[in-house]
Amino acid sequence: MALNGHLLTFLVFFPAAGALALLWLRGDDEVWIRRFALVVSLVEFVASLLMLRAVPIGASGYPMEEFAKWITWPPINYHLGADGISMFLVILTTFLTPICVLASWQGINFRIKEFHVMLLLLEVGVVGVFLSLDMFLFFLFWEIMLIPMAFLIGIWGHERRIYAAVKFILYTMAGSILMLVGMVWLYNATGTFDLPTIQAMIHSGQLVLSERTEILLFLAFFVAFAIKVPLFPLHTWLPDAHVEAPTAGSIILAGVLLKMGTYGMIRFCLPLFPGAAHRAAPYVATLAIIGIIYGALVALVQPNLKKLVAYSSVSHLGFVVLGIFAFREISMQGAVYQMLAHGISTGALFLLVGMLHDRRHTFEISEYGGLCAPMPKLASFFLFVALSSMGLPMLNGFVGEFLILLGTYQAHWDWASWAATGVILSACYLLWSYQRVFYGDITIDKNRQLKDTSPREAGMLWALSVVILWMGISSPFLTRRFAAPCKAVIEMMNPNLMHEAVLPRTVTPQGGLQEQTGRERLAQR
Amino acid sequence: MFRNIFHVLPELLWCGFGVLLMLLQPFVKSRQALTFLAMIGAAAGTLVTFFTTVGSGFSGLIQFDTLSLFFHWLVGLVAFLVILSSESYLQRENLEGAEFYALILFATAGMGVLASAQELLTAFIGLEMSSIASYVLAGYRRESIKASESAMKYFLLGSFATAFFLYGIALVYGVTGSTNLAALANASPKGTLLPLGLTLILVGLGFKVAAAPFQIWTPDVYEGAPTPVSALFSAGPKAATFALLLRIFSTVHAATDYWFWAFWVLATLTMFVGNLGAMVQNNVKRMLAYSSIAHAGYTLVAFAAVTSVRGDPQAVAPAYAAVLFYLASYSLVSIGAFTVVSEIGGQGERYMTYDEYAGLGTRQPFAAAALTVFLLSFLGLPITAGFFAKFYVFKAAIRSDLVWLAVFIAINSIIGAYYYFRLIVTMYMREYKGTVPADAAKGMSPTAAMVVAVAVLITLYLGLLPNHVLQIVLSRPLMLSAR
């Protein structure tokens, strides 16, 4: 329980300081506003990389923690902590924020100061959510995240932006109010808001919830997170919010905000209410599989490219939820990995779609066609990212999906079989849309003069592509660091669960490779 | 006998300054001087609470204890802010200042009496003092038909409700032979007369706090009254009447279960009526009126918690704390919101619809930002006062096992989110279609801006550090005669 200085507090509040400083700049000083915001977000990213040093491989618990008393009654403490899972989610956030700033360099051309202030405040909320270890603090940052996102969609979005922003707020708020009820109930039962303390109390048997209470509390938290993920059938806010948001808004929304839901499931639903989670698992898995297939099918028939990518998010995150609720170590690792991979890939997809929009101001696939000729570089990047999104081996999407399917197959082969069809369908809609947009003949004259990627755009895409490739090749770098927390979550659910790994070379929670076949490991038990 | 005076020093000062203002009105022409004097009067009455003797006075008619202290400070602060914010309003509407301020101070004195009343007829006196001053204040804009309508409505319905209150007192006296709350505490709950009397008292007081089904007057009266007066209505009389309700229904033990269910039903009805009514409003003032009904509903949930845990001394203090914190936070935020609305309303209160607020984020950024903070506090977003207020009510409800009420608060918060966000969205995300009013282009007047800034600071302060206020409430027993 090392208290590593104030890195976590810095990560949470530095963007807020940056936003405050931005307010002092003149509103029409466009260039410096953008540069300042870029510098702030890059500094934040570099600072977040420092966490990699502090969280050792194979550590369980929370290697980085910060604690301060805040309110004496009720006892709410300023308790931040990072483990392998939250560390990478924070790094994902801080990586995508400079990308968002760069993506809006040309696209946003009014009220630029307010835009960047909102973006930075959003970063504060999201980083705070991932790092909070106090339930109340978690809720606080969760709500803080709502307003900047709503403003981003509602002011700088496209035609139906106000409708999308209000829908987003109402849906998310409905969920979070339910979560608040659950939190207050838990506080009443345990006398504290501190998450590790409550986890320990439940795990040691000090707090025993009746079946009915457990299932109700589980649902209270789960519905809030399911709205965020989004899980079918609570997903209807997503297409509107994504399509109407500006490019930066979509990147941050798809890349990071959706992961808050799955992160919440891992942190709250599973460890605190294991019995209820077990009982709810078949239903949740059914919804997840429906989401995978339904999301993919609807994406297949979309004429709007951005909506297609939005539905692909529904589909991919269905995989994550499935991986979480299979209750296997491998699938949990796959779920966390897929969260990170999806963040990068779909963020990149939205970035590319936004670049197309910057040029032609439309998202309709029918308006494009044959873009390979005027924009070969953009087309190459698009293909690369699309391949990663559909799970091509050696790219990041493969690792996550494979681990999820492998782990799920060990638990329920039928779930995995249904989910695997989603992989095929994702290839369908991504490749087909790529063909319609980039291959074939140029049918619309305006497309002939389109400019290829500018240095700024190429730089962003190169950064994302390198990360995609790196994540696909050297996945152990990541999995080693969150294997132990994943295992801890599973163990908290049921100490008797068998941890099965049938890969020939497995990575042990202690780090390092283990040259044993799965059969040998099973025989050892 | 003279020692009794020291128990009511705040009321004396407030009434004294009110009379002084009325006497000076023919001689002093400067509006600023009168405002300044009125503010000194409000502040003096509030600060003199440090010298007010704690304890029972006037042979048990008045009791000055922690509850009284809290509410004296609250209504004093409310009066101070309302007086300050109404200076520019009176200037714009060309209305006389001295009587306005005098009436506010008289109303405040009445509210103070309400908060310290230990005896029902004294409470009636306080109620009437504040009510009659309020009736006149509601109709202060003599040329406006709407204001006259609101004053008439308030007067007729208010007198009707006060009649209920008196009838209830009469029945209670008939049964117990006393109107003193200390004597009522031991009254036997058997029989029908005592519960009936208490019900009539509840009806009369329920009217004052705008609890459904007694809330019909609220939207029309708030809409017609001058906006600073609406600010006063939403903050002062409501808080003081809640203080009296707290005193009565936690001291009087008669028929505990009965009261719990009464407050349960009242709370639910009030929350839903307030929120559903606000959803369909197009006039910002009416929307704020309905929202004040809704917030009365949330406070009543805390009341239900108070009445349900009376037997448990551990749980009762947090329930009281929830009520007091909610009233304090709501009152101050509400004054801020109404002040902004008053400034944007312009001459003759012309610009009150949602359409007039479109694009306010660009036209008047400070006003829009402040109003956003207040609306977010009404909504209950973290780092605003309203969040902790709602949170404490939640806690009290769940602590007392009032799960359904907690669920209703949740549902109503979402409904509230809709119409509060509608206004925020209108201010920031819609284009203004009309021509910019000439007098609105100047922005808010300095005095109003000061009030709004203070309200924003208080909202954020209570949202980040609610501890300090809570400690005041939790550290000592609230009522000297409380169980």
- From the list A73, A154, A184, the residue facing B394 with the nearest CB is A184
* Closest-CA residue of chain B to A190: B399
In a domain, A70, yes or no: yes
Set of chain A residues whose Cβ sits within 8 Å of the Cβ of B383: 140, 144
* Residue contact A73–B418, C-beta within 8 A: no
Judge whether residue A277 has pLDDT over 70: yes
Same structural domain, A267 and A288: no
Q: How far apart are CA B248 and CA B192, in angstroms?
A: 18
Set of chain A residues whose Cβ sits within 8 Å of the Cβ of B391: 180, 184
* Residue contact A140–B418, C-beta within 8 A: no
The torsion defined by the Cα of B251, B255, B259 and B265, in degrees rounded to 10, comes to 180
Judge whether residue A509 has pLDDT over 80: no
For residue A515, what pLDDT is reported? 42
- From the list B394, B406, B421, the residue facing A166 with the nearest CB is B421
In a domain, A380, yes or no: yes
Size of interface A-B (CB pairs under 8 A): 72
Whether A70 contacts A80, CB under 8 Å:
no
Same structural domain, A237 and A295: no
Set of chain B residues whose Cβ sits within 8 Å of the Cβ of A140: 382-383
For residue B1, what pLDDT is reported? 65
* Interface probe with A: pick from B320, B420, B429, B430, most Cβ of A within 10 Å: B429
Task: Return the closest-CA partner of residue B293 out of B276, B307, B280.
Answer: B276
Convert the pLDDT of each residue in A112-162 to its tens digit: 888 999 999 999 999 999 999 899 899 999 999 998 999 999 999 988 988
Question: In 3-state terms, what secondary structure has residue B25?
Answer: coil
Judge whether residue B417 has pLDDT over 80: yes
Convert the pLDDT of each residue in B267-326 to its tens digit: 999 999 999 999 999 899 999 999 999 999 999 998 888 777 655 666 677 788 888 899
Angle between helices B145-176 and B217-224 (to 10 degrees): 140
In a domain, A76, yes or no: yes
For residue B480, what pLDDT is reported? 57
Set of chain B residues whose Cβ sits within 8 Å of the Cβ of A151: 428
Domain that holds residue A226: 1-272
- From the list B376, B399, B429, the residue facing A155 with the nearest CB is B429
Q: How far apart are CA A34 and CA A13, in angstroms?
A: 19
* Residue contact B398–A72, C-beta within 8 A: no
Same structural domain, A290 and A245: no
Q: How far apart are CA B266 and CA A360, in angstroms?
A: 58
Please state the separation of Cα A164 from the chain's center in Å.
20
Mean pLDDT, chain A, integer: 86
Set of chain A residues whose Cβ sits within 8 Å of the Cβ of B471: 72-73
Domain count, chain B: 1
Mean pLDDT, chain B, integer: 87
In a domain, A519, yes or no: no
For residue A505, what pLDDT is reported? 35
Judge whether residue A403 has pLDDT over 90: yes
For residue B314, what pLDDT is reported? 66
* Residue contact B410–A185, C-beta within 8 A: no
Same structural domain, A262 and A307: no
The mean per-residue pLDDT over the stretch B121-127 comes to 93
* Residue contact B421–A170, C-beta within 8 A: yes
Q: How far apart are CA B9 and CA B459, in angstroms?
A: 29
> Residue B353: beta bridge partners?
B283
* Residue contact A180–B466, C-beta within 8 A: no
In a domain, A473, yes or no: yes
Same structural domain, A288 and A234: no
Instruction: Give whole-number Cα distances, B283 to B82, B280, B353, in Å.
Output: 22, 9, 4
A239: preceding bond cis by omega (within 30 degrees):
no
The mean per-residue pLDDT over the stretch B449-455 comes to 93
> Residue A341: beta bridge partners?
none
Judge whether residue A502 has pLDDT over 50: no
Same structural domain, A306 and A236: no
Set of chain B residues whose Cβ sits within 8 Å of the Cβ of A162: 425, 429-430
DSSP 8-state symbol, B441: G
Poorest-pLDDT segment among A327-336, B168-177, B343-352: B343-352
CA distance A198 to chain B (A): 18
In a domain, B483, yes or no: no
Question: In 3-state terms, what secondary structure has residue A304?
Answer: strand
Judge whether residue A339 has pLDDT over 50: yes
For residue B477, what pLDDT is reported? 66
Same structural domain, A162 and A222: yes
Set of chain B residues whose Cβ sits within 8 Å of the Cβ of A146: 381
CA distance A202 to chain B (A): 20
* Residue contact A181–B474, C-beta within 8 A: no
The mean per-residue pLDDT over the stretch A408-430 comes to 91
Domain that holds residue B95: 2-475
For residue B412, what pLDDT is reported? 92
Q: Provide DSSP, B248-265.
A: HHHH--TTHHHHHHHHHH
Same structural domain, A331 and A472: yes
* Interface probe with A: pick from B383, B394, B402, B465, most Cβ of A within 10 Å: B394
Q: How confident is the model at residue A518 (pLDDT cuts 50, 70, 90)?
A: very low
* Residue contact B414–A177, C-beta within 8 A: yes
Set of chain B residues whose Cβ sits within 8 Å of the Cβ of A143: 381-382, 387
- From the list A155, A169, A188, the residue facing B421 with the nearest CB is A169
Whether A124 contacts A212, CB under 8 Å:
no
Residue that is written with structure tokens 């319905």 in the block: B157
Q: How confident is the model at residue A212 (pLDDT cuts 50, 70, 90)?
A: confident
β-strands A513-514, A506-507: how paired? antiparallel
Same structural domain, A4 and A68: yes
In a domain, B462, yes or no: yes
Judge whether residue A377 has pLDDT over 80: yes
Same structural domain, A28 and A65: yes
Q: How confident is the model at residue A79 (pLDDT cuts 50, 70, 90)?
A: confident
- From the list A72, A140, A187, the residue facing B467 with the nearest CB is A72
Whether B444 contacts B367, CB under 8 Å:
yes
Q: Residues of A numbered 131-160 whose beta carbons fall under 8 angstroms of chain B's beta carbons: which are they?
A: 139-140, 143-144, 146-147, 150-151, 154-155
The H-assigned helical ranges of A229-273 are: 237-244, 247-252, 258-264, 270-272
More confident site: A511 or A164:
A164
Q: Supply angle C-alpha B119, B120, B122, rounded to 5.
A: 70
Q: How far apart are CA B99 and CA B90, in angstroms?
A: 11
Hey, how many other C-beta atoms are within 10 angstroms of the C-beta on A22? 21
For residue A141, what pLDDT is reported? 93
Instruction: Give whole-number Cα distances, B62 to B55, B57, B112, B130, B204, in Å.
Output: 8, 5, 10, 17, 21
For residue A205, what pLDDT is reported? 76
Judge whether residue B328 has pLDDT over 70: yes
CA distance A509 to chain B (A): 38
Judge whether residue A108 has pLDDT over 70: yes
For residue A213, what pLDDT is reported? 87
* Residue contact B395–A187, C-beta within 8 A: yes
Q: How far apart are CA B475 and CA B465, in angstroms?
A: 16
Set of chain A residues whose Cβ sits within 8 Å of the Cβ of B395: 74, 184, 187-188
Set of chain B residues whose Cβ sits within 8 Å of the Cβ of A73: 318, 467, 470-471, 474
Domain count, chain A: 2
What sign results for the dihedral spanned by CA atoms A65, A486, A496, A194? positive
Residue A473 contacts B where some CB pair is shorter than 8 Å: no
In a domain, A81, yes or no: yes
In a domain, A506, yes or no: no
Judge whether residue A8 has pLDDT over 60: yes
Whether B114 contacts B327, CB under 8 Å:
no
Convert the pLDDT of each residue in B197-249 to its tens digit: 888 998 999 998 999 898 999 999 999 999 999 999 999 999 999 999 888 87
* Closest-CA residue of chain B to A141: B382
The mean per-residue pLDDT over the stretch A324-344 comes to 93
Residue A169 contacts B where some CB pair is shorter than 8 Å: yes
In A255-272, which positions are buried (b, 16+ CB within 10 angstroms) versus exposed (e)?
bbbbbbbbbbbbbbbbbb
* Residue contact B413–A143, C-beta within 8 A: no
* Residue contact A180–B394, C-beta within 8 A: yes
For residue B221, what pLDDT is reported? 94
CA distance B418 to chain A (A): 7
Set of chain B residues whose Cβ sits within 8 Å of the Cβ of A178: 410
Whether B224 contacts B144, CB under 8 Å:
yes
For residue A508, what pLDDT is reported? 39
Whether B293 contacts B210, CB under 8 Å:
yes
* Closest-CA residue of chain A to B428: A155
* Residue contact A162–B394, C-beta within 8 A: no
Q: Which two tokens stand for residue B77?
A: 């602060």
CA distance B421 to chain A (A): 7
Q: How far apart are CA B252 and CA B244, in angstroms?
A: 12
Same structural domain, A465 and A487: yes
Express as a percent the part of chain A with pLDDT over 90: 53
CA distance A44 to chain B (A): 23
CA distance A307 to chain B (A): 23
Interface of B with A (CB under 8 A): 318, 376, 381-383, 387, 391, 394-395, 398-399, 406-407, 410, 413-414, 417-418, 421-422, 425, 428-430, 465-467, 470-471, 474
Q: How confident is the model at residue A192 (pLDDT cuts 50, 70, 90)?
A: confident
Q: How confident is the model at residue A500 (pLDDT cuts 50, 70, 90)?
A: very low
Q: How far apart are CA B52 and CA B190, in angstroms?
A: 39
For residue A434, what pLDDT is reported? 93
Same structural domain, A228 and A150: yes
Q: How confident is the model at residue B189 (pLDDT cuts 50, 70, 90)?
A: low
* Closest-CA residue of chain A to B393: A184
Q: How confident is the model at residue A521 (pLDDT cuts 50, 70, 90)?
A: very low
In a domain, B481, yes or no: no
CA distance B50 to chain A (A): 26
Q: Provide DSSP, A146-192.
A: HHHHHHHHHHHS-TTHHHHHHHHHHHHHHHHHHHHHHHHHHHHHHS-
